[in-house]
Chain A
Amino acid sequence: MRSRSIIGIAPLLAPVHVLILSVIVLPSLYVVWLSLNESSFGQAPTFVGLQNYIDVITDPAFRSALWNTVVLVVVAVHIELALGLGMALLFAGGLPFRRFLLVAVLAPYAVSEVIAVVMWRFLFDPDVGPVTLMLQSMGLPILDWSFEPSHAMILIALLTIWLHLPFTFIILYAARLAIPSDLYEAARIDGATAWQAFKRVTLPLLGPAIVVALLFRYIFAFRLFSEVWLLTQGGPARSTEVVAVYLYQEAFSYNAFGTAAATAWIMVLASLLLGAGYVFILRRQVSANANA
C-alpha cells in the first residue's frame, strides 16, 4: 500500500527533481568537468587534471582577491549583524513613526545593485561628490577611494552593508517579534536588568535566527561582484579585486573557461569553509531542538 502510494506521488514530485537536476546538479557537474580541462573559444577541451586548480591557487592575483573577499565578507557581515540586531531591538522596543522607519530601513533592498553603485559613485565622487564636498566643508577627511585601495575597500564594505542590511534586519526583527512577551515579564518580575534580559532571554532565543542570517549572508557576500566591478573594476592595479571579479575576468575577459571553472569550485569550497562553524552550530541547534 505504502509503495503504491509513493509510486503514485513520484510523478507529482518529478518536476521539482527534474528542475533541480537540470539547473543545479547537471551544470555543477559540467563545471567540474570544465575545471579539469583547458578550454577556450575555438579549441577542443584538453584534459589537464588538477592543473587549473594549481594555476589558480598559485596565482598571486587570486590569493590577493581571496584575501580581499574574506576581509570584506567578515567585516561587512558582522557589522550588518550588529546593526541589524540593534535596529531589530530598537524597532521591537517601540519607535515613533515605526511604519515609515521600517520602509526607510527596507528601501535599500528594493534598489537594484547597479543603480545603488552608480548612486554611491556619484555621492562619493572624489572631486564633485556631495558627500565628499560635505566632508570637506566640515574639515573632515574624505574617502579617497579612487586612489587609495584601503579607502576603496572601506567604500565597498559600506555599500555592501547598506545594500544588504535589510536582509539581516528583517530576519532578526521577525525572530524578535516571535519571542513571547511573557518571558520578558517574568524576567522583569525576577528583577533582571535590561542587559540581563537581553543576555538571558533575547540572545538565546534569537540564536537560530542569527545563525541563519549569518550563514545566508556569508554565502551571498562571498559572491560579491557588482559593488566592486562597477565601483573600481578591482583597481587600482587589481588591489581591490575580489574572487567573483577574478572569475569574471578569467571567463569573460580572457576566455579561459578551465581556470574560471576551477575558480568557481574554489569559491564554493572557501565559502563553505568560512561558513562551516555556523553550519555546525546550526546543526547542533536543530538536533538539540529535535531531542527536546
Chain B
Amino acid sequence: MNDRNIIALSRRGFLGTALGGIAALATQPSWAASKTLNVLSHKVHQTVLGADGGDLLADWKASNDADVFWTTFDSNPLQDRLFREASLGSTDYSVGYMIDNRPTSEIAALFEPLDDYLASDPIEDFQDIAPGLVDGMTVDGKLIGIPVRHATQGLFYNEELLQEAGIDAPPTTLEELVEQARKLTFTSSAGTPVVGMVLASDLAVFPVMFARAFGGDFITGDFQLMPDKDAMVKGLTVLREMFEAGALPRSYATTRNDDQVTWLQQGRAAFTVLPFARNAQLNNPEQSKYPGKIKAVEFPISAELKGKMPMSSIVEAWAMVIPKNAADKDLAWNFIKEVSSKRATLGMALNGNGPVRVSTYAEPDLVAKNPLAEVEAAVLANARGAFPPFPEAARAQGIMLEEVQLAVLGRKPVAEAVDAIVERVTPLMPA
C-alpha cells in the first residue's frame, strides 16, 4: 500500500478546495435566521418564554427573521457580566436583564435611555405596567429599563404539618407565626425532624421583613438608614428567640435560598419566606413530598400594627435594558416591546413568571392556574424593594447580614448588633 496515495494533497487541489469553500460561504446560504439577538439573562427569564411548541416568541422570530441567543447566569454573576459588557467599547449583547436594586447613576449611564423609544414606538398599554416597578428603573429622570418580572415574597406553609400539629389556619400576626413555628418544631408522623421555619442567612430580605412587621426598615427609598431602630431590634429579637428555641435550624448561618425550597419540599420545615412564583416548584409532585399541600399567605404584620397599617413585603423586580454600546438597538427595542406585550406577559405568568402588568392578575387563565394570583396581587400593592440602589448598597447589605448573623446566633446582643449596623453602614450612605 502506498502511503503517498493516502495523504497526498497537491497544491492545486488545496487551492481549489479553499477557493470553492470561500465561494460557497460567499453565497450566504440560508442556514438560520438572518439576524441574531444576543440576550444576557438568568435562566428563568428564558424558561418562562417557553420553547419549541410553546415558544411565546415564535411569531416575533418569524416576522423579524431573527433568532434569540440566550446567555444565562445566576443573578450576581449575571449583573457583573452585564455591567462588564456595557463598559466595553462595544458589545454583542443587545438586551440584558437587570435587578432593580442595581441601577445607580453610574450604572444607569451605561444603558440606553428608553423614553424616546417609548414615545416613538410605544409598548402596548404601558400604563398597565405597575408604576412602582417603572419608578424603580427610572434613574435621574430617565427610564433605563422595562420591568419584566417581579418576585414578591410570601409566607409559605405546609398545610399537612400544620394540621398534624393541630393548627387550623395559617398565622395572621407575627406573634402567631412565632407561636406556630415553635409548635411545629417537632418530629412529624413520617419520622422527619421538623423545624418551624427555614430562612436563608445570606439575603437581606428576611431580617428586613421581620423589621417591617414592626414598622421598621433597613434603608428607605429616600435613603434613611434604619429610621426606627427599635423596630429592627424587635424584628431581630424575634429571629434570635426562634433560633434559641430551635424553631430556626442550627445550620441557619449556612442555609441558602435553594435549601429553603428543598427543606419545605421534604417536610423538614413548616414555614419559609419565598417569592410567590415558587409555588409551582414547591408543589411539583416530582420534587415535593407534599404536592398541593404547600400554600402561601401574606407575611403577617405584628399584632400591635395589625389593622393600623399594611404589611410592606419585599419585592424584587427585573427589567430589560439595552447597553449603550449594543450592536442592534432597534431589534433590541422590538424584542422588549414583544416581551412586554399583554399576550407575552400572560404567557410568561402561566409559565411561573411574576407578571408586571396589573391587568394580568385578572386574566381568567391565570386565576384558574395560579391559586395565589389574588393574594400575590394584594401583597404586591404594598410591596417595595429591600433597599434602594446606591454605589455601596451591596457592601451595606453585607455588613447588615454579618451583624444579623452574629445577633441571631447569639454571639452579640441584638441591640449591639443593630447599633453596629448603623455605625458601619452610615459612612457608606449616599451624601
A residues in contact (CB < 8 Å) with B? 40-43, 125-127, 144-147, 231-233, 235-238, 249, 252-256
Contacts and interface: CB of A to CB of B under 8 A. Distances in A.
A235 B105 CA distance: 32
A236 B405 contact: yes
Contacts of B83: 41-42, 255
Interface in B88-136: 104-110
Contacts of B110: 41-42
B163 interface: no
B426 interface: no
Nearest to B256: A233
A237 B405 contact: yes
Nearest to B417: A237
Contacts of A256: 395
Contacts of B57: none
Nearest to B192: A128
A146 B253 contact: yes
Contacts of A40: 106, 391
B321 to A, nearest CB: 13
Interface residues of B, number: 36
A146 B248 CA distance: 13
A151 B83 CA distance: 38
Interface of B: 76-77, 80, 83-84, 86-87, 104-110, 193, 201-202, 249-255, 268, 391-392, 394-395, 398, 402-403, 405-406, 409, 411
A255 B80 contact: yes
Label chain B's interface by main secondary structure: helix
Contacts of A238: 402
Contact of B409 (A126, A147, A233): A147
Contacts of B86: 41
Contacts of A43: 106
Given A233-B202, A236-B411, A254-B398, 13 more contacts: A42-B83, A42-B105, A126-B250, A127-B250, A127-B251, A145-B254, A146-B250, A146-B253, A146-B255, A236-B253, A253-B395, A254-B392, A255-B80
A42 B109 contact: yes
B106 A235 contact: no
A127 B108 CA distance: 45
Nearest to B409: A236
Contact of B87 (A41, A144, A252, A254): A41
Contact of B107 (A42, A146, A253): A42
A55 B421 CA distance: 19
Contacts of B395: 253-254, 256
Nearest to B406: A237
Of all A-B residue pairs in the complex, the 3 with the closest CB atoms, nearest first, are A42-B106, A236-B253, A146-B251
Contact of B394 (A42, A126, A254): A254
A126 B251 contact: yes
A144 B411 CA distance: 16
